[in-house]
Amino acid sequence: MCTPRLSLRLPRLLRLPRRPIPPRPPRPAQLRALVAVLDEAVAAQSPADAAVAACGEPGPVSCLTARACGRQSIALHRLRTRLQDLRLTDPDLALAQDRAACLLAYDLWMLRESLNLAFTVHPDPRTEAARLRLNGLGRHADDLRRLRDGLRDGLRAEVS
């Protein structure tokens, strides 16, 4: 016994046209976009570093320091979002993008934790000792700068 086959294919006139795939930007353009965002991120690290260090200064922490940490958190968050929105298709650039996003996430975490230590609701000697050890963003800021510098050197080599 033969069972009829149902055709689920739509007639050609009823099919939706396929959208063209946007062309992949060339590697130098991707690299330039990545370096541009990282340049801004590295520039934003100086005020963020100063805000974290201000949270660790002896004595009461001012409200101005809290505002500075808030402003720097917003700036770094926006840069991290811009970084993650880049459409990088080269695998090595995508890896650099992921590494930079992780480093910026660390900077954001440092700002938040510095505020938590500086403006704790229940101060105790351990919290105060940890707060007084704050002196900036640390090694991760240097790592981001080195990553940017390496990519910038790669851009110069590709353009030359």
Whether the model pTM is above 0.85 = no
Dist. CA 12–CA 111, nearest whole Å: 58
Cα of 7 vs its chain's centroid, Å? 49
Q: How many angstroms separate the CA atoms of 151 and 34, rounded?
A: 8
Q: What is the pLDDT along the chain (160 residues), one digit of tens a residue?
A: 555 666 566 566 566 677 777 777 889 999 999 999 999 999 999 999 999 999 999 999 999 999 999 999 999 999 999 999 999 999 999 999 999 999 999 999 999 999 999 998 888 999 999 999 999 999 999 999 999 999 999 988 887 7
Distances from the Cα of 36 to the Cαs of 33, 86, 98, 114, 159, in angstroms?
5, 11, 15, 28, 15
- pLDDT value of position 14: 61
